[in-house]
């Protein structure tokens, strides 16, 4: 049998766009806390900074999904990227905590539009037979960006981060313009019911990824400050090692999920992520931090490969925008909730206990997934 072709020119381009877009956005979650700390912000404010951005993203995503399904991908995508570019440059001119919070809110809205459009466009360009593998490679670009950007941002400083982010967004906009957008919005008659904001098929993976990504919200916001407290230099290497572990393991899990089902990825993540967090909570050296990064990166890569495929694979093509919006609502919501919770917990209990408490949430994700499997099994009987 001929194997379905995976890599088309469109998939290559949209994967590169995903990398540059994610990289530009992820330069700020790690750079902003030390920057705002220097302006007088406390840990609680730092957590809410990420939380407010996430709320803005969550509010815009479902409407972005409907717009993508109704009007097509290209111009919604371009609008989101241009919005990100304009907002990114505005950080340079307002070194005030209150104004940065407002800017961060606007950044979240532009991000919600661009990211939903990017994932939906990728979904359009991957064949169902190799969907998990294809989404694994596509998402690997964002995962690598999410891992490398924080390490780089901590060494560059706020002003240089703004310049680099703007340059990457300009590249992303150019790449979107040279893509071939074949999709057309579905023709809707007056009798067509109004589409729902979310895709119900993606509800379970969205909730599971929400619980898992709470842990990333804590790490991205407070790892650098935790390293300073422990007098550990070079903590930015955590994100680099995390990226390398995902680069190695994520394609493997993508293929494995296509062959063996979603459970192999979900259960791997549910087991590995808490181990990494508990180890992180008692770490006192850079070596231990890096071991945590390997375990954590493998777990996140495994879980996300399964859950993103689960969210999209059974959704009708005309609803892929809504499905992606639903999944990334959980994804972003978890990061934002994790930052807020971590800020509150660390204020009262310290960073060590905060990371230990974060290990609870992947276990809750596993319990929810297990309950769903049991209920589904009973319904089929």
Query: Count of residues for the chain?
Result: 381
pLDDT at 176: 93
Give the per-residue pLDDT at 72.
82
Q: Measure the CA angle with vertex 145, ends 359 and 222; round to 5°.
A: 40
**CA torsion angle for 339, 312, 177, 106 (degrees, to 10)?**
-30
Q: Which two tokens stand for residue 279?
A: 């180890």
pLDDT given for residue 378 in this prediction: 62
DSSP 202: G
Give the pLDDT score at 197: 61
Q: CA-CA distance, 336 to 311, in Å (whole number)?
A: 20
End-to-end CA distance of the chain: 34
Distance CA 340, CA 54 (A): 10
DSSP state letter for 93: G
pLDDT at 374: 78
Read off φ and ψ for residue 115, nearest 5 degrees: -70, -40
Per-residue model confidence (pLDDT) at position 189: 45
Supply the pLDDT for residue 15.
92
pTM: 0.73
pLDDT at 294: 94
CA gap 138, 134 in Å, rounded: 6
What residues contact 371, with CB distance under 8 A and at least 6 apart? none
* Domain spans of the chain, in order of start: 9-182+198-380
Q: How far apart are CA 102 and CA 94, in angstroms?
A: 10
The parts of the chain modelled with pLDDT lower than 50 are: 1, 185-191
Residue with tokens 């939906």: 120
pLDDT in tens, 52-67: 887 888 888 888 888 8
Cα 173 versus chain centre, distance: 20
- Distance between CA 146 and CA 23 in Å, rounded? 6
196: which DSSP letter? Answer: P
Per the listing, tokens 């097509």 go with: 72
Query: Architecture of domain 9-182+198-380 in CATH?
Result: Up-down Bundle (1.20)
């Amino acid at each position: 049998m001929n194997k379905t072709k995976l890599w088309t020119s469109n998939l290559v381009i949209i994967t590169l766009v995903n990398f540059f877009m994610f990289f530009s956005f992820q330069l700020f979650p790690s750079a902003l806390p030390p920057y705002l700390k220097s302006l007088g912000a406390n840990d609680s404010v730092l957590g809410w900074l990420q939380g407010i951005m996430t709320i803005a993203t969550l509010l815009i995503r479902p409407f972005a999904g409907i717009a993508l399904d109704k009007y097509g991908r290209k111009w919604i995508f371009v609008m989101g990227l241009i919005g990100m570019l304009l907002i990114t440059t505005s950080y340079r001119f307002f070194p005030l905590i209150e104004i940065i919070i407002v800017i961060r809110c606007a950044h979240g809205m532009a991000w919600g539009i661009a990211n939903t459009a990017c994932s939906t466009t990728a979904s359009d360009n991957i064949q169902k037979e190799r969907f998990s593998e294809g989404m694994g490679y596509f998402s690997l670009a964002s995962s690598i960006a999410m891992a490398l950007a924080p390490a780089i941002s901590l060494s560059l400083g706020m002003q240089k981060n703004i310049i680099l982010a703007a340059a990457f967004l300009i590249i992303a906009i150019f790449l979107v313009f040279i893509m071939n957008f074949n999709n057309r919005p579905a023709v809707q008659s007056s009798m067509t019911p109004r589409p729902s904001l979310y895709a119900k098929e993606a509800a379970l993976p969205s909730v599971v990824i929400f619980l898992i990504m709470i842990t990333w919200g804590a790490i991205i916001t407070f790892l650098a400050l935790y390293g300073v407290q422990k007098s550990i230099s070079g903590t930015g290497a955590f994100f680099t090692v995390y990226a390398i572990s995902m680069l190695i393991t994520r394609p493997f899990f993508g293929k494995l999920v296509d062959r063996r089902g979603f459970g192999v990825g979900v259960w791997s993540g549910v087991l590995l992520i808490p181990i990494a967090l508990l180890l992180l909570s008692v770490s006192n050296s850079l070596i231990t931090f890096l071991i945590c990064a390997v375990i954590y990166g493998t777990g996140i890569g495994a879980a996300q490969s399964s859950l993103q495929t689960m969210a999209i694979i059974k959704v009708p093509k005309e609803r892929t925008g809504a499905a992606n919006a639903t999944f990334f609502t959980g994804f972003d919501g978890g990061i934002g909730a994790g930052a807020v919770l971590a800020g509150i917990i660390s204020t009262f209990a310290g960073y060590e206990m905060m990371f230990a408490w974060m290990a609870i949430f992947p276990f809750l994700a596993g319990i929810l997934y297990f309950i769903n499997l049991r209920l589904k099994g009973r319904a089929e009987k």
